[in-house]
Structure 1
Amino acid sequence: MKKQLGVAVVGAGYWGPNLVRNFRASPDWDLVAVCDLDEQRARKVIGPRSTVVAESSFERLLERDDIDAVAIATPAQTHASLAMAALEAGKHVLVEKPLAPSVIDAAVMVEAARDADRVLMIDHTYCYTPAVQYIAQTVQSGTLGNIMYIDSTRINLGLVQPDVDVFWDLAPHDLSILDFILPGGLNPVEVSATGSDPLRVGNACVGHISLTMRDGSTAHINVNWLSPTKIRQMVIGGSHRTVVWDDLDAQRRVAVHDRGVDLAFGRSEDERQAARVSYRLGDITVPALTEKEALSSMVGEFADAIRSGRPARTDGAAGLRVLSVLEAVSESLAARGKPVAPHQYTNALAFRSAS
């Protein structure tokens, strides 16, 4: 049997207890400690009759030699400083999304992890669901053909956040999925965004993002806090087949449609000037997906990346690419929807770190 890796969860608030539960249940990990400024809150998450340590000092936590990795589930503005301290202490690091408050902070974290030869992983949870794993395999195998468009809708009557807009609250899920499924990751040449604040709370509550990819395909993301109907759906249209993912449909979460539009080019000179369109009506395939908690797969991937000495499937570079697009979204929104190119130096850094 493989020796278990020691891990500490930092932050016992909203997301920390989910990480605690999954690290505890994993055969790859030994949960050594839970750290929170409120030690009583940490003890409550740990529960009674446990040998797991409740710690209130992050500095003391990093001094322990029985901890190989830390999982950070604290407010976003603290991610960079905590991760950097952990990397300097020789620990592997898992960070709840977003990776950092800014692209610059995230870039420094990626560089530091590379220099320290430590795994820096972002908890893009949706990427570890059986549905998204299947979609990624289908896209990257070429089954869909060339990707022509992606439409994603994530709307709900949600909690209006006081410190972030709807883009930064909901769109990271969709952007991280696109980064995971697209060959080469998420690297658009142009980003534009429009949003509205009908409640006058100071942040956009309804928004639309348009991405132009390097191959000419497009992706559109609709996010909304005000919809009485909850929809989590993504359509990925390829030249051969189309995938429809409906996360709320447990019976048909993923469907692969062998139907769509075919372009047939004629042989004569005149016919070459225009494409002839034909419609393909084929079968719909609904794969049988295993029901497994995404966080369970995620903590397993974290352990495997550490043991193998390889980047995690959602590594720091993935978090950096998503942040780069989110910052471009904010820039476009401030410019009333003007298209913005994500900062090239961050994309170059992400590419260098991933390779």
Structure 2
Amino acid sequence: MMGTRLKVGVIGLGAWGCNVARCLYEMPECDLVVCSDLSENRRTMAQRNWGVQTVASLDEMLAHYPEINAVVISSPAITHYSLAKKALLADKDVFVEKPFTLNVRDAEELAALADARNRILMVGHLLEYHPAVNRIREIVQSGDLGDIYYIYTQRVNLGRIRGDENALWSFAPHDISQILYILGEEPVDVSARGQSFIQDGIEDVVFLSLFFENRRMAHIHISWLDPHKMRSTTVVGSKKMLVFDDAAATEKLRIYDSGAQAPPASSYGEAIQVRFGDIQIPRLTTTEPLKLEFQHFLYCVEHRVTPRSDSQDGLRVVRILEAAQKSLEMDGLPVSLNPNAPEKELPPAPPINRQWTPRLPMIPNNIPVVAAQ
């Protein structure tokens, strides 16, 4: 395979799938051979825009185009497991968009299957390939920010409201994978609360908290029901602070040489010292993150090396999502990510006194009661 252009097939031509197909079509490292989608209109669009062959299903793709080396899955999340499994069993390398799967059991099965068949299996955690996020990781790992206290992210918009997955599963994989990648560690437990305003049982807004060792915290706010379009990450350290605004046209990353420190010996009247320093704006490459992500995937396929966002990375994120979903269903009760930890139970409800009647407020005897006129 070395020295030849890789042949790729794409499954799913929805809003994001079209972006995926367009990116692969433009890349000199591969040939986009065939696209698959159930919609005839979308297949026609792909033929017109990129001159590729189209089919209605993965079965047709595998039967009629055996020469393809890799399959890229950008179909709805509920189909990821079955399509990835079928492609792996056909001995194709596979790229799966986020979320990897919709439960831990399926993620573990796909990871084991890829290992057993010596296939490359990569998950679409796009932010791990974003130039700004990679710079943030370098800064955090270098210790320039000091000890990391907490991270919070906002991924909100008044956008397309989905009916097959909630905001947690749709948006949070981006921020969870980003946080794990930046910190290089996994949380010990998670807590999530949300609400379904538009469709019963499908949360439109979720507030997700991750708790790490050494008192580190991360908070994720996700919603498709919000007046603002925000894609931001804030990292607060003991020495400096950092803000990444992915919605900004320029100057996406800012480092604040600011912080607060308690005096060495506390005494009465001695205040916490707050420091406001300079703001640094690092220079970042403008290469499209999606293109960087697929360059990495194609390199891994050609050279048979483990991807950065491999199946184990996908499994870690799905494990957190599954725990967060459980917490959502328990109205925010923390869920441990340690499989050996004892299950936490909801506190018992207070007893119901069916004889209870509301008590009227007491009126002091020395205050005259004036009748209404």
TM-score (ref. length: structure 1):
0.87
Q: Which amino acid aligns with 1:91?
A: K
Deviation at 1:166, TM superposition (A): 2.2
Q: Counterparts of 1:221-240 in structure 2 under 5 Å? A: 221-240=220-239
Matched, 1:220 2:219: yes
Matched, 1:59 2:54: no
Q: Which residue of 1 aligns with 2:274?
A: 279
| Secondary structure, aligned partner of 1:289 | coil
Q: 1:54 to 1:141 in 2, by over 3 A?
A: same
Deviation at 1:49, TM superposition (A): 8.0
Bigger CA drift: 35-44 or 10-19?
A: 35-44
Q: Counterparts of 1:62-73 in structure 2 under 5 Å? A: 62-63=62-63, 64-73=65-74
On the 8 A contact 1:265/1:276 being kept in 2, the answer is no
Matched, 1:150 2:155: no
d(CA) in 2 for partners of 1:33, 1:296 = 19
Q: Which residue of 2 aligns with 1:47?
A: 48
Q: Which residue of 1 aligns with 2:309?
A: 314
Deviation at 1:279, TM superposition (A): 2.8
Q: Counterparts of 1:137-286 in structure 2 under 5 Å? A: 137-184=138-185, 187-199=186-198, 201-263=200-262, 265=264, 277-286=272-281
Q: 1:21 to 1:108 in 2, by over 3 A?
A: same
Deviation at 1:253, TM superposition (A): 0.9
Deviation at 1:79, TM superposition (A): 1.0
Q: 1:226 to 1:75 in 2, by over 3 A?
A: closer
Q: Counterparts of 1:115-134 in structure 2 under 5 Å? A: 115-134=116-135
Q: Which residue of 1 aligns with 2:285?
A: 290
Q: Which residue of 1 aligns with 2:320?
A: 325
Q: Which residue of 2 aligns with 1:336?
A: 331
Bigger CA drift: 313-322 or 62-71?
A: 62-71
Q: Which amino acid aligns with 2:116?
A: D
Deviation at 1:233, TM superposition (A): 1.6
On the 8 A contact 1:192/1:209 being kept in 2, the answer is yes
Q: Which amino acid aligns with 1:192?
A: S
d(CA) in 2 for partners of 1:327, 1:239 = 32
Q: Which residue of 2 aligns with 1:102?
A: 103
Q: 1:308 to 1:141 in 2, by over 3 A?
A: farther
On the 8 A contact 1:208/1:221 being kept in 2, the answer is yes
Unaligned runs of 5+ in 1: 346-355
Q: Which residue of 1 aligns with 2:38?
A: 37
On the 8 A contact 1:10/1:35 being kept in 2, the answer is yes
Q: 1:198 to 1:86 in 2, by over 3 A?
A: closer
Deviation at 1:110, TM superposition (A): 0.9
Bigger CA drift: 221-230 or 249-258?
A: 221-230
| Secondary structure, aligned partner of 1:32 | strand
| Secondary structure, aligned partner of 1:208 | strand
On the 8 A contact 1:179/1:318 being kept in 2, the answer is no
On the 8 A contact 1:110/1:317 being kept in 2, the answer is yes
Q: Which residue of 1 aligns with 2:6?
A: 5
| Secondary structure, aligned partner of 1:157 | coil
Deviation at 1:263, TM superposition (A): 4.9
d(CA) in 2 for partners of 1:167, 1:57 = 28
Unaligned runs of 5+ in 2: 341-373
Deviation at 1:301, TM superposition (A): 0.6
Q: Which amino acid aligns with 1:6?
A: K
Task: Determine which structure has more spread, i.e. the larger CA radius of gyration.
Answer: 2
d(CA) in 1 for partners of 2:61, 2:198 = 43
Q: Which amino acid aligns with 1:302?
A: F
| Secondary structure, aligned partner of 1:282 | coil
On the 8 A contact 2:99/2:170 being kept in 1, the answer is no
Deviation at 1:286, TM superposition (A): 0.3
**Deviation string for 1:84-129 (max 9, x for gaps)?**
1111221110011111121110111111112222111111223322
Deviation at 1:340, TM superposition (A): 0.2
Q: 1:59 to 1:146 in 2, by over 3 A?
A: same
**Deviation string for 1:239-275 (max 9, x for gaps)?**
2221111122223211011111235645xxxx7xxx9
Q: Which amino acid aligns with 1:250?
A: A
Q: Which residue of 2 aligns with 1:348?
A: none
Q: Looking at secondary structure, tell me which structure has more strand per residue.
A: 1
- For this pair of structures, how many residues does the alignment match? 336
On the 8 A contact 2:25/2:50 being kept in 1, the answer is no
Q: Which amino acid aligns with 1:56?
A: A
Q: Which residue of 1 aligns with 2:363?
A: none
Taking only aligned residues, the RMSD between alpha carbons, in angstroms, comes to 2.4
